Each structure stands twice: as structure tokens, then as C-alpha cells.
Amino acid sequence: MGLLEGKRAMVTGGSRGIGLEIALEFAREGADVAIADYAPDEANAKAVEQLAAAGSGGAFALRGDVSDPEFAKEAATRMKDSLGGCDILINNAGVTADGLILRMKPEDFERVVRINLNGAFYMLKEMSVLMVKQRSGRIVNMSSVSGVNGNPGQANYASSKAGLVGLTKSAAKELGSRGITVNAIAPGFINTPMTQQLTEKQIEASLARVPLGRMGEPADIAHLAAFLASDKASYITGQVICVDGGIVM
């Protein structure tokens, strides 16, 4: 029996990178997995095919913008109608628009915060309604080491990810009495489509900060997400766990 046998999970930003790896790990562990992503329909359809092949019989995708509160309501309704509820929410959807503060456009700051932080709040708000009714649930917010330590050129991204830390701790205190745990994962330098766009010089500079001396893999994040989403983590809540090769210590 898988670690998440019979569980119903929603993964935002689940069509590629860390989100897809988490969704696939959940499917392999026995969960029915839905993804919510703004990616093109073809990308979402391909992800659903992969999830079905990994064992998720109830896999489906919703295309939309998590920063729209109406989309979050739609996602919760679909989870209830298609899967009967929601046991696990992974708030993974996120974007970047890097730039130094003095040059950063206000719209770039606002867009990153709106998607990364507001979007997580909207999804948490709507999915927790389903969880409260069943008096159980697992919520994992994807923060970042940038949200813990800050990072030059990422004032918008770091602010959004730091905000997720506060959201995680507040929600954990509000929802704990209903059997719902809320935790955050703070990935470090992970091998994803986002980091693959960096130059060789940027990669070398980033690796210089990692005591283990290498990039992490999406699977490193997915393994922890599966544990936090399982019954084995039932007494862990309000925590921010860095998966970063030692950047934050």
C-alpha cells in the first residue's frame, strides 16, 4: 500500500518541474491527483497522461490563473464533484521577474506577489473549507530559501516566498484544531526548467553557496512533500523545511 493510498490531492503549477514531480510522486504513492496550471492545454493533458500512467485513476487538470479567487473556487468545486473532496493541497504555482530594486517595475513586483502569495492564499482558503468539513487535511506551501534569506535581484520573489512563511504559520494555528496540518518547503538551487535558463557563470555562482556542492533534483522536494502529506507527518505543523544542500543553516 502506498504512503498516500486513497488520498485526493491538488497540486498547483503541476504541469512541469517540481510541481509535476510532486504530482507523479503522489500518484505513485496511491493518491488521486489533480493539477491546476496556467500552462497550455497540451502541457496539462500530457501531465495528466503521465499521472494516469503513474497510477492516478482520478487524474485531471484545470487550466487557469491561481491569482484569480474565482478560479480557486472553481478548483474546490471540481475537487468535490470529481473526487469527493480534498485531502492534500500543494501550493506550488509560482513565477519570477527578477531585477534590482532600483530598476524593478511596480507591475513586476505586484504580479509575482499576486501569483505566488495571493494565489496560495486563495487556494488554501477554498480547499480548507473542504478539509474542515472532513476534519482532516494536509497543506504544503512551496516557499524558497530566497524567502528565508533574501536574494539580490529578487525582492519581489523573496517577498512573496517570505509571505508564504507567515501564511503557513498563521494557517497552521487556525486550522490545527480541525485536524489540518500546514507546512512549507523552502527549496534551494534545484534543477528545473527555471534554473536551466541560467548562464554557466550564474550556475557556478549559485553552486558556490551550496555546501553539498551540487544542484538538488525535483525528486528531493517531492519525497519530502509526500511525507508531509502523509499520516506519518500528523504531528508536524507550522514548519518551514529547507531542502537546499545546506544553504540555510
Q: 185: Cβ–Cβ under 8 A, 6 or more apart, which residues?
A: 140, 141, 142, 143, 221, 224, 225, 228, 240, 241, 243
Q: How far apart are CA 148 and CA 173, in angstroms?
A: 20
State yes or no: is 157 an active-site residue.
yes
Residue 181 pairs in a beta bridge with 138
Sign of CA dihedral 192, 64, 118, 180: negative
Locate the DSSP E strands across the chain: 8-12, 32-37, 60-63, 88-91, 137-142, 180-187, 240-243
Identify the helix (H) or strand (E) that includes residue 52: helix 41-54
C-alpha cell at 222: 517531492
- The C-alpha atoms of residue 187 and residue 222 are separated, in whole angstroms, by 11
Q: Which of 38, 122, 157, 235 is catalytic?
A: 157
| Active site (catalytic) residues | 157
